[in-house]
Amino acid sequence: MTTATLAPQQERTKTSGILLAIILVGQFLAILNVNIVNVAIPTIERDLHSSGAGLQMIVAGYTIVYAVLLITGARVGDLFGYRNTFLAGLAFFTVTTLGSGLAPTTGWLVVFRFAQGAGAALMMPQVLTLIQRNYHGAARGRAMGLWSAVVSGGIVVGQALGGIMLGLGLGWRVLFLVMVPIGAILLIAGLRVLPADGGGGRTGLDPLGLVTLSVAVLLFVVPLVLGRDLGWPVWGWISMGLSAVVFYVFVRVERWVSGRGGRPLVDASVLRAPGMRPGLGVLLFGPATWGAFLFTSALHLQGELRLTPLQSGLMLVPCAVAFAGVGLLWPRLPARLQRTLLPFGYVVAAPAYFGLGLVGGGGWPYAVLSALIGAGLGVQIAVTNLATQSVSDEYAADASGALLTVMQLGQVIGVATVGTLFMAQGEGATAVALAGLAVLAGLSSLFLARPKLG
């Protein structure tokens, strides 16, 4: 290879690396916001004189809006371009993060947290889509490994970083304000580096599908997020029941739109793609265990064991490192071996979860088991990759939106159900529940791990 041909290739590689860094750091900021505020709730309560309901909405508002609008965010990218939508979401997220850091009252903080969730919902689906459209073969595998590491790292770092900043006496506002210059730098770099695109070349936002799906998700997520703290009121159970009815209506609406030659919000051909349905099953149960484990671990370590937020976050570092390590090494394995080994990740995670009930005192046994959990769930990088292998670029946005929404719902379901069990029965029963969910994820992965025919 001559020097003349080598230089453009090196330039493309460099640009490709910068592109990936921009979208992954943007994703990292969005995930960081899910948990970073948790450790600051007592400080916020004292500073803003917040009520219990206000504090719940400060924590949950971001997650609620984010979960409701993810599929919509994917379709917006399909219509207006993935680059444009990612940058618009990043800009909105950055501005509303600044607003959160400067909020004078609880009400304003709740409003800005809701708006942050909307910005994240515009950003996040574009990350997977941009990876799918700009990286192929081994490069896509490496990019997905880094994506997986960012997903896991953001959750744990949010808890640890919040504890460090509060421990330094910097106050709760800096938790938001520190992200503003990072967002601004990413925005400037993204305008220069992210490739222009025309989206998926499809038209129509499917407003009826958008409304019915948003209502269905909202009816389901709100009582799950708020129910535990409110004592599971009757309206919550009614709301979740209605969500099933509205979701059925959404399915009928999508069939009607498709039958009329329109563009449904979630195209049925995406769900029929080999790997998508078992992939959605794995990404429901696997992240449910992950979200519930991190949530109940924080309660157990800071509550029963009386560790500081920083100590609690550091106790989970082995878990995050193992998760990221498996995610980064996994793409180096041959594709056939990835399929074969996929269920074994959950075989490792399930007994490790069960073992947590036997070592409730923390210390190195707890750290070792958490590392095994992280290593086992690190195979989820393969789930996303295998689920989307047969999805064409035309439907990349639909696939990204569906996968991310199910992952988010899985975490919400896990936190709500297993979190409630933890409050009532303690660490032992929680460990059994987490092991059971890991088994369900493993069984689902068996269908995904089957080699493609033909």
In a domain, 8, yes or no: no
Tokens of 217: 């998700």
Instruction: Kindly state whether residues 151 and 259 are assigned to the same domain.
Output: no
- 3-state SS, 134-180, equals HCCCHHHHHHHHHHHHHHHHHHHHHHHHHHHHHHCCCCCHHHHHCHH
Most confidently modeled range among 3-12, 45-54, 231-240, 337-346: 231-240
Instruction: Look up the CATH number of the domain holding residue 178.
Output: 1.20.1250.20
Helices within 36-51 (DSSP H only)? 41-48
Query: Which of helix, strand or coil describes residue 51?
Result: coil
| 144, 218: one domain | no
- How many domains does the chain contain in total? 3
Q: Do residues 209 and 253 touch, judged by C-beta distance below 8 A? A: yes
User: Are 105 and 34 part of one and the same domain?
Assistant: yes
Shared domain check, 173 and 127: yes
Same domain for 67 and 39?
A: yes
Q: In this structure, are 443 and 310 located in the same domain?
A: yes
Tens-place pLDDT, residues 146-193: 887 787 667 667 766 777 777 677 788 988 999 999 999 999 999 998
pLDDT mean over 207-235: 83
275 vs 23: CA distance, rounded Å: 25
Asked whether residue 382 falls in the same domain as residue 428, the answer is yes
Helix axes 234-259, 207-230, angle to 10 degrees: 160
301 and 241 in one domain? no
Highest mean pLDDT (candidates 79-83, 115-119, 387-391): 115-119
Confidence of residue 13 (pLDDT cuts 50, 70, 90): low
Q: Which of 192, 223, 254 is the last residue of a domain?
A: 192
Report whether pLDDT(243) > 70.
yes
- Average pLDDT of the segment spanning 349-353: 92
Q: Provide the 8-state DSSP code for 37.
A: T
Of the pLDDT bands very low, low, confident and very high (cuts 50, 70, 90), residue 3 is very low
What is the tens place of the pLDDT at every residue in 283-338?
A: 889 888 887 887 787 777 777 777 776 677 677 778 878 887 887 777 777 777 77
Give yes or no: residues 239 and 316 share one domain.
no
| Residues 6 or more apart whose Cβ sits within 8 Å of residue 207 | none
Instruction: Write out the residue range of the structural domain in which residue 375 sits.
Output: 270-454
For the stretch 113-131, pLDDT in tens is: 999 999 999 998 888 888 8
Average confidence score pLDDT of the chain: 81
The answer to whether position 10 is within a domain reads: no
The encoded tokens of residue 36 equal 């970073």
Separation CA 420–CA 68 (nearest Å):
23
If asked whether residues 260 and 276 sit together in one domain, one would say no
Pair (172, 304) in one structural domain: no
